[in-house]
Structure 1
Amino acid sequence: MKNKPIVEVAIAILYRHGKFLLQLRDNIPGILYPGHWAFFGGHLEPGETPEEAIKRELLEEIGYTPPALSLFGYYPDTYVLRHVYQAPLPVELNQLVLGEGWDMDLLTPEEIQRGEGYSEKARQVRPLGTPHQKILLDFMDKFPQLTV
């Protein structure tokens, strides 16, 4: 069996007042982590740098791009290389326009540690995607001052 090529994605950790902005992915079959909380971001287009991709994806998905994004790190697995960026979110949630996904919200560090968060739109607690939880736990370990 032939290995699939590695897909590259750019994703963003956006934080505000000790909480983290996440997207509740659509609950439809055929997508990765359906109905799970995950980062905003997506695939790199041909010829696009990861930084260009994250800015484009954020604009498409929430109608906003932070003034500055910093590279947090790389998270490779068997099929995906995640370029992870981070930035504070200086705007209110109601200033963002959800262009993709079921819901968006600011999850607390406690919700991230539990691996689940409540969605007002879904009216239920939904799980956090496994790689997304790991990345956020790593981020909170490295920058504990941002979770207060």
Structure 2
Amino acid sequence: MATYDVALVLLVDPSGAVLLQHRDEDIEVSPGQWSLPGGHVEPDESPEEAAHRELLEETGLTADELHLVWSGPRPYEPDFPHTVTVHVFQGATTARQEDVILGEGQAMVFVPRDQVFDRALAVSAALALRLI
């Protein structure tokens, strides 16, 4: 069983919309579901550094400030074979949808806050979105 950390970015635009990624269908974790930009924390970086790196890699966007809003174990899912600590960072952006560069996944879109729970959310994204 693998043990690792992931950093997720809860990025909010001026209207309050949240940036969500529609994950690829052929990946191991949360295929085809909606999640927050983010990924593995590399051995040589802090969770905050990973959050900034993953945000840039997956969206082409940067955030001046990211604030840790939660760290803890990934929510339980039957048959999930890993032990994961999730670090959720929140930040604000003035970016618009047309500024987003899709670097990973099927889509990366700003979703109005009142519509985020209408999507098939990955378990970590669902937990993080309940924080706002």
TM superposition score category, shorter chain reference: 0.7 to 0.9
Gaps of 5+ in 2: 77-82
Matched residue pairs, number? 124
Q: CA deviation at 1:134?
A: 2.0
Instruction: Provide the rounded CA distance (Å) in 2 between the counterparts of 1:5 and 1:128.
Output: 23
Instruction: Provide the rounded CA distance (Å) in 2 between the counterparts of 1:40 and 1:7.
Output: 17
RMSD: 1.5
- Report the equivalent of 1:23: 21
Gaps of 5+ in 1: 117-126, 141-148
1:113 to 107, 112, 117: 117
Give identity over the alignment, percent: 35
1:89 to 79, 88, 93: 93
Q: CA deviation at 1:14?
A: 0.4
Amino acid at match of 1:67: D
Of 33-42 and 105-114, the range deviating more from structure 2: 105-114
- Report the equivalent of 1:136: 129
1:9 to 6, 9, 24: 6
Measured against aligned partners, the alpha-carbon deviations of 1:61-82 in whole angstroms (never above 9, x if no partner) come to 1112111111111031361101
The answer to whether the 8 A contact 2:59-2:108 is kept is no
Larger RCO: 1 or 2 (CA < 8 Å, sep 6+): 2
- TM-score, with structure 1 as normaliser: 0.77
1:42 to 10, 35, 39: 39
